[in-house]
Amino acid sequence: MQHIIDRFISYVTIDTESDPNSTTTPSTAKQWDLANKLVDELKAIGMEDVTIDENAYIMATLPSNVKHEVPTIGFVSHFDTTPDFTGANVKPQIIPNYNGEDIVLNAEHNIILSPKYFKDLLQYKGQTLITTNGLTLLGADDKAGITEIVTAMEFLIKNPEIKHGKIRVGFTPDEEIGRGAHKFDVKKFAADWAYTMDGSQIGELEYENFNAAGVKITFKGKSVHPGYAKGKMINSMLIANEFINELPKGEIPQETKGYEGFFHVTHLTGSIEKTDLELIIRDHNAKKFKKRKEVIQGIVKKINKKFKKQFGEDICIAEIKDQYYNMKEKVEPVFHIIEIAEKAMKDLGIKPLIKPIRGGTDGCQLSYMGLPCPNIFAGGHNFHGKYEYVPVESMQKAVEVIVKIAELTATTDFAKEKSKKKK
């Protein structure tokens, strides 16, 4: 396990935070630091056809070691970290043989990772945890996934008696800002299907995700002296507040779970004359997703009608952009790729947790680009913040799942027959 710990720490201590306001790919120059390291490491462990393009997309090949025809499978992870919380100067802490009690992340600032609040911790008593020092995120999302893929490829190279077909690996920038798959060359990757190693707790296997849209709304106002504002002033901030109050009650992230969708206000800045509001729409069901967009348009229409006479033009201008769709539609026709991953977990004594993703991954976009790509656990918890942690044993199990999937795909009639049916 020390090998996994060392590799993971070597990745997370490199700052790769992405930037949603950048127009370049990758969105930050510092992502190249880890990207170039990964290229060197893939070559060093013996991978072939290692490439990195002008946008920092990395691909590599582990050739087949069997003579019969085997589907080409892929494994994908992203190397950027979220801009929601700093990923600079990450100083991981190793907690061996976790005792189930509070973990002091930072004594000076009294930052504590407690099982009283984060109950999932109790699943990992007796295991080795890697945590933050309370001042940054950890970066297990998704450097745990990268660690697992590289380690699994290295294991297969060192153990040629384990039979496998051709395996492709891909590492992407900018997933955390929704662009991870945008410039991914599916044709060049040339896999029959792939898996993102980007889930959370051990056992997760996901092939359903949200349909997603982003909304930007501008509210116009009129500013006059407040002492003489009667019938004249229009405060755009109050109109934005009115808009928010019109959204369905209770349909917000903190009050929904499972397949329940939501509206989520993410940004609000304003003055009397102009207010900008941003929100996201999420729903697993395509019809409900469409309905949610119609709700936004309905509120916009209502507000414009109310102020049309006073303002003389539309006071509320909305832009709705779809971001990604539920991969279920693309995975179900090739459901054997889920069955193979499920069998791999069961063979390793892992209970599969097949559930919908309350979010999205590179895989959902790749699935619509022609590469069916469900998601497998990477082991981390509490992503995007100072309470992030990952059990080393979960990363080890993820490595074993990758190896087992490769083995099952190459050595079982089940996989070969399913592949023929697909063709």
Question: Could you read off the pLDDT of 223-252 as tens digits, one per residue?
Answer: 999 999 998 899 999 999 999 999 999 999
Identify whether residues 318 and 342 lie together within a single domain.
no
- Which of 175, 192, 251, 283 is catalytic? The answer is 175
Instruction: Show which of 284, 307, 324 is a domain's final residue.
Output: 324
Identify whether residues 44 and 186 lie together within a single domain.
yes
Least confident of 79-83, 84-88, 339-343, 412-416: 412-416
Predicted confidence band at 413 (pLDDT cuts at 50, 70, 90)? low
CATH of the domain at 296: 3.30.70.360
CATH of the domain at 401: 3.40.630.10
Identify whether residues 230 and 203 lie together within a single domain.
no
Mean pLDDT of the chain: 94
Instruction: Show which of 271, 290, 324 is a domain's final residue.
Output: 324
Least confident of 90-99, 148-157, 311-320: 311-320
* Residue that has been written with the tokens 């348009």 in this structure: 297
Q: For residue 209, what pLDDT is reported?
A: 93
Number of Cβ within 10 Å of residue 150's Cβ equals 26
Alpha-carbon separation of residue 7 from 12, 69, 84, 319, 321 (angstroms): 9, 33, 24, 43, 39
Token reading at 395? 């990363």
- Which of 15, 17, 80, 142 is catalytic? The answer is 80
Q: For residue 116, what pLDDT is reported?
A: 96
Number of Cβ within 10 Å of residue 283's Cβ equals 24
Q: Is 175 one of the annotated active-site residues of the chain? A: yes
pTM of the predicted protein model: 0.88
Instruction: Show which of 324, 353, 375 is a domain's final residue.
Output: 324
Identify whether residues 252 and 173 lie together within a single domain.
no
pLDDT of residue 419 exceeding 60, the answer is: no
Identify whether residues 64 and 131 lie together within a single domain.
yes
Identify whether residues 221 and 136 lie together within a single domain.
no
Q: For residue 297, what pLDDT is reported?
A: 97
Q: Report the distance separating Cα 172 and Cα 157, nearest Å.
A: 23
Q: Report the distance separating Cα 416 and Cα 409, nearest Å.
A: 7
Token reading at 423? 């063709």
Q: Report the distance separating Cα 190 and Cα 370, nearest Å.
A: 10
DSSP states along 38-64: HHHHHHHHT-EEEEE-TT--EEEEE--
Identify whether residues 309 and 333 lie together within a single domain.
no
pLDDT of residue 144 exceeding 90, the answer is: yes
Question: Could you read off the pLDDT of 199-228 as tens digits, one per residue?
Answer: 899 999 999 999 999 999 999 999 999 999
Domain count for the chain, please give it: 2
Q: Is the model more confident about 93 or about 422?
A: 93
Identify whether residues 161 and 274 lie together within a single domain.
no
Question: Could you read off the pLDDT of 147-198 as tens digits, one per residue?
Answer: 999 999 999 999 999 999 999 999 999 999 989 999 999 999 999 999 999 9
Q: For residue 115, what pLDDT is reported?
A: 97
Identify whether residues 197 and 239 lie together within a single domain.
no
Identify whether residues 295 and 371 lie together within a single domain.
no
Question: Could you read off the pLDDT of 247-274 as tens digits, one per residue?
Answer: 999 999 999 999 999 999 999 999 999 9
Identify whether residues 201 and 349 lie together within a single domain.
yes
pLDDT of residue 420 exceeding 60, the answer is: no
Question: Could you read off the pLDDT of 102-126 as tens digits, one per residue?
Answer: 999 999 999 999 999 999 999 999 9
Residues spanned by the domain of 310: 211-324
Question: Could you read off the pLDDT of 357-405 as tens digits, one per residue?
Answer: 888 788 999 999 999 999 999 999 999 999 999 999 999 999 999 999 9
Identify whether residues 174 and 298 lie together within a single domain.
no
> Given phi > 0 = left and psi -120 to 50 = alpha, else beta, which region is 258?
left
For the chain, give the percent of residues with pLDDT over 90: 90
Closest CA to 358 of 206, 251, 201: 206
